[in-house]
């Protein structure tokens, strides 16, 4: 059993708990992992890798993600979200126009300081473990990329919904904090929904309750290449199938067609079957980096 399950994680469930939940529905000893951590109090899309799809983890974690986040003005917290302790207050509440104007300063490559309450490690210890002990560490800003920010609506006098399209490593909690700081105001994230992760969206996902009542978990299983459609594809002629199963690099003359030189990962197929992911060498050969056939 191989592929991806689009789990719609509810608030209060950790990403690891989501993996454990899915594992209980699968045959024993089936490898399972998730494709990108989602905060425990956040909801939404959590791609779960099943079977040989766990070998594709590195190819799905960099995919663009879309979030709907709510920013609350007037108070900042130690966790940068609604679960934390208030640490500072501000009285002025910005209007929609101010919030919209501030968003443009956070599109593109930005430097972002992650929150102390995160799973990042320092000297082998997770930051949230240190934070719970009352320890504080000066964290370095990291370069992350925001594809787009769109104002959605005002949900109450001090809360606004924002649509965020971003790449790997972005902390939405930190983004909300920083938007507040750009307006010289205190702010935190009061709600977060991951609506899209690569090819998966809330529209084609399953809640835990929905998964439990399916006649077969295989009904929720999406093909292993479902998240990889943006990568270039090659097809190896069937007569060379045994050679690639032995791990031999794919030679240009083995292909049913041509492919332009690329630095991007390449999807490899043979006889219509997804064989794995490779990368092109200077010679034009394609070396496998994740082989899915042969066990």
Which residues are catalytically annotated? 39
Q: What share of residues in the chain are helix, strand, coil (percent, to 5)?
A: 25, 35, 40
Q: Please report, to the nearest 10 degrees, the dihedral formed by the alpha carbons of residues 32, 36, 37, 41 taken in order.
A: -110
| Helical segments of 117-222, H only | 127-132, 172-182, 208-212
- What is the total residue count of the chain? 295
Phi, psi of 280 (to 5 degrees): -85, 135
Burial group, residue 266, by CB count within 10 angstroms (0-12, 13-18, 19+)? buried
- CA distances to 20, 164, 203, 210, 286 from 197, rounded to whole Å, are 20, 12, 12, 20, 28
Q: What three-state secondary structure class fits 172?
A: helix
In the numeric block, which tokens belong to residue 76?
């900042």
């Amino acid at each position: 059993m191989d592929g991806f399950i689009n789990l719609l994680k509810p608030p209060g469930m950790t990403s690891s708990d989501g993996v454990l939940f899915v594992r209980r529905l699968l045959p024993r000893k089936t490898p399972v992992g998730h494709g990108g951590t989602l905060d425990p109090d956040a909801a939404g899309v959590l791609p779960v890798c099943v079977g040989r799809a766990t070998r594709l983890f590195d190819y799905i974690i960099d995919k663009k993600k879309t979030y709907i986040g709510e920013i609350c003005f007037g108070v900042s917290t130690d966790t940068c979200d609604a679960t934390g302790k208030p640490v500072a207050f501000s009285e002025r509440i910005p209007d929609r126009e101010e919030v919209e104007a501030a968003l443009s300063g956070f599109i593109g490559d930005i430097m972002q300081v992650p929150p102390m309450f995160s799973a990042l490690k320092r000297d082998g210890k997770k930051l949230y473990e240190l934070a719970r002990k009352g320890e504080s560490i000066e964290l370095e800003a990291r370069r992350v990329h925001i594809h787009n920010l769109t104002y959605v609506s005002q949900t109450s006098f001090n809360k606004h919904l924002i649509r965020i399209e971003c790449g790997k490593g972005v902390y939405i909690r930190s983004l909300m904090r920083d938007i507040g700081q750009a307006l010289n105001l205190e702010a935190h994230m009061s709600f977060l929904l991951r609506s899209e992760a690569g090819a998966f969206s809330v529209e084609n996902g399953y809640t835990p309750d929905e998964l439990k009542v399916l006649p077969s978990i295989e009904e929720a299983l999406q093909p292993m290449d479902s998240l990889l459609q943006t990568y270039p594809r090659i097809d190896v002629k069937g007569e060379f199938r045994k050679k690639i199963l032995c791990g031999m690099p794919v030679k240009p003359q083995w292909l049913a067609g041509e492919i332009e030189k690329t630095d991007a990962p390449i999807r490899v197929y043979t006889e219509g079957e997804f064989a794995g992911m490779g990368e092109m060498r200077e010679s034009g050969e394609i070396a496998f980096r994740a082989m899915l056939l042969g066990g």
